[in-house]
Amino acid sequence: MDTKGKYTETPMSLEQFHISEDYGFILPEPLNDLPLYYKPWMDIARNMPDLISSHSLRLRIHNMPLLETHLLGTHCELRLAHLALSMMTMGYVWQEGERETVKVLPRSLSVPLCEVSQRLGLPPILIHADTVLANWRRRDPDGPFSMENLELLLTLPGGESVRGFFLVTVLVELAGVPGLKSIIDVINGIHYNDVAMVTKALDVVSQAIDSMKQAFKLMHEYVDPSIFYGIIRIYLSGWKDNPSMPDGLVYEGVQEQPMEFSGGSAAQSSILHCFDELLGVQHEGSSGAFLRRMRDYMPPSHKHFIENISSHPSLRSFVLQQADEGLTRAFDLCVARLVDFRNFHINTVTRFITIPASRAKQLRANKQGMTEDLDAIRRAPTALEERGTGGSGIITFLKTVRDETKEISISQCTNGNQVLPDRSMTEIQKAASELTTE
């Protein structure tokens, strides 16, 4: 029923945007192999850490045959091909670290990568939709979604930490699925002018955001910050706004002019974009522009879903108009949980990037008697010190995004948007601020 009391339009559904009721944006049951013809790709893609550490990946790619892509028939085959080709691309570009990058991606890799990317509507670089959404399998297919039962299909240097980094993010995405489904109920509830339906759906959204934060905590258990900072990060880096590759990358056989693409980042995850649009969070200026640009790094149907949410009547206006205490509380709780998630994210970034970056500066000044993990930090790429893999100036950006979220709370005077600091994390931030003071 619309506001005039008529049942007119078909209610919105996840299905129409190719989003799974069970898995959300995650690709349900990704394939773990391609047809035999593509063995030359998969043999390399399955062996990335060894080929990189033995400095032989570039040679293997130079010797790789140029394969046709028309034998890739299904969406799942195309997604696995994108994952494999874009991982090889990252390995090819960054095999020798930030100082010996390349200017040209050879045609045996660039041509099929661009063809597959075009068919999927994705950029020809490794993205969140590859490393996380299409890169998992369950050891026991009937078993639970747990760190013990999950495995990556393809991996990069960084051992258990790289596994943890991608798989914990799979669990964060999964934890958000009930919230995603409830977005539909919120929209339909507003459409039917049904306050109880909207309130109930918002309760599920706030619970889902909290579950995402709980899953996110596993990052601290499964990922070693020195390995993340010193080893993993460079392989996720792109060639846009990156001083190590100021001219971008030529995709040989595709275009003579170099192209620029941002690196892989969970800023390309659709789920928080959805909650922002639902609640009406406005991201302005350069941070807003960065987040909007990240939508071009998502599968097109996911981007359309986000855009569709904002094309419906505003939830915040509905809440203000109804002036219903329970509804307002439910709305503000969603805002508070989102702020809380973003605070936790900032603290994680401090621990995984800001602190190791400061330590790297100190260590470069003093090289004596270093353990292996400290050495990894010292040798970490310097161009990325102050930047995220997507190329942003990190902490300022993340705080702006967090503050813009706070601003939409309705009852500013209640406890609704006052997020209690996580004590252990506050100590980490304190340590970081001491380290970064030069």
Q: Could you give the C-alpha distances from 20 to 28, 110, 314, in angstroms and in order?
A: 7, 31, 25
Binding residues: 345
* Alpha carbons within 13 A on the beta-carbon side of 413: 0
Using CB under 6 A, which of 390, 404, 416, 428 touches ligand HEM?
390
Q: Could you give the C-alpha distances from 61 to 32, 98, 157, 268, in angstroms and in order?
A: 21, 19, 17, 28
- Indicate the residue among 38 and 290 with the shorter CB distance to ligand HEM: 290
Residue range at the interface with ligand HEM (CB under 6 A); choices 57-65, 310-318, 345-353, 429-437:
345-353
Binding residues for heme b: 345
Q: Report in angstroms how near the CB of residue 388 gets to ligand HEM at its nearest.
A: 2
CA gap 175, 169 in Å, rounded:
10
Using CB under 6 A, which of 51, 219, 360, 384 touches ligand HEM?
219
Q: Could you give the C-alpha distances from 205 to 201, 314, 417, in angstroms and in order?
A: 6, 16, 15
CA gap 257, 313 in Å, rounded:
43
Q: Report in angstroms how near the CB of residue 384 gets to ligand HEM at its nearest.
A: 9
The yes or no reply on residue 353 touching ligand HEM (CB under 6 A) is yes
CA gap 319, 190 in Å, rounded:
9
Q: Report in angstroms how near the CB of residue 26 gets to ligand HEM at its nearest.
A: 11
The yes or no reply on residue 348 touching ligand HEM (CB under 6 A) is yes
DSSP string, 116-168: HHHHHT--SS--HHHHTTTSEEESSTTS-SSTTTEEESS--SSHHHHHHHHHH
For residue 218, the surrounding DSSP H or E stretch is: helix 218-222
Q: Report in angstroms how near the CB of residue 223 gets to ligand HEM at its nearest.
A: 6
Binding-site size, ligand HEM (CB under 6 A): 26
Mask of contacts with ligand HEM, 188-217, x by CB under 6 A?
A: ----------------------------x-
Q: Report in angstroms how near the CB of residue 408 gets to ligand HEM at its nearest.
A: 14
Contact 345, 398 (CB under 8 A): yes
CA gap 389, 233 in Å, rounded:
7
Residue range at the interface with ligand HEM (CB under 6 A); choices 43-51, 191-199, 239-247, 342-350:
342-350
Using CB under 6 A, which of 172, 205, 249, 408 touches ligand HEM?
172
Question: 3-class DSSP state for residue 330?
Answer: helix
Contact 318, 191 (CB under 8 A): no
Contact 213, 340 (CB under 8 A): yes
Token couple for 235: 């392989």
Residue range at the interface with ligand HEM (CB under 6 A); choices 45-53, 199-207, 314-322, 392-400:
392-400
Contact 45, 328 (CB under 8 A): no
Name residue 257's amino acid: Q
Q: Report in angstroms how near the CB of residue 247 gets to ligand HEM at its nearest.
A: 20
Using CB under 6 A, which of 272, 298, 327, 408 touches ligand HEM?
272
Using CB under 6 A, which of 211, 389, 409, 429 touches ligand HEM?
389
Burial class (CB in 10 A: 0-12, 13-18, 19+), 291: buried
The yes or no reply on residue 345 touching ligand HEM (CB under 6 A) is yes
- Indicate the residue among 305 and 352 with the shorter CB distance to ligand HEM: 352
Residue range at the interface with ligand HEM (CB under 6 A); choices 28-36, 253-261, 346-354, 418-426:
346-354
Using CB under 6 A, which of 206, 237, 343, 392 touches ligand HEM?
392
Mask of contacts with ligand HEM, 35-74, x by CB under 6 A?
A: ----------------------------------------
* Alpha carbons within 13 A on the beta-carbon side of 96: 8
Per CB under 6 A, which of residues 231..270 are in contact with ligand HEM? 265-267, 269
Closest listed residue to residue 107, CA positions, set 68, 78, 75: 68
Q: Report in angstroms how near the CB of residue 11 gets to ligand HEM at its nearest.
A: 27
Using CB under 6 A, which of 349, 370, 431, 435 touches ligand HEM?
349
The yes or no reply on residue 169 touching ligand HEM (CB under 6 A) is yes
Q: Could you give the C-alpha distances from 352 to 300, 304, 345, in angstroms and in order?
A: 30, 32, 10
Q: Residue of minimal CB distance from ligand HEM?
A: 388
* Residues forming the site for ligand HEM (CB under 6 A): 169, 172, 216, 219, 223, 228, 265-267, 269, 272, 342, 345, 348-349, 352-353, 388-392, 394, 397-398, 401
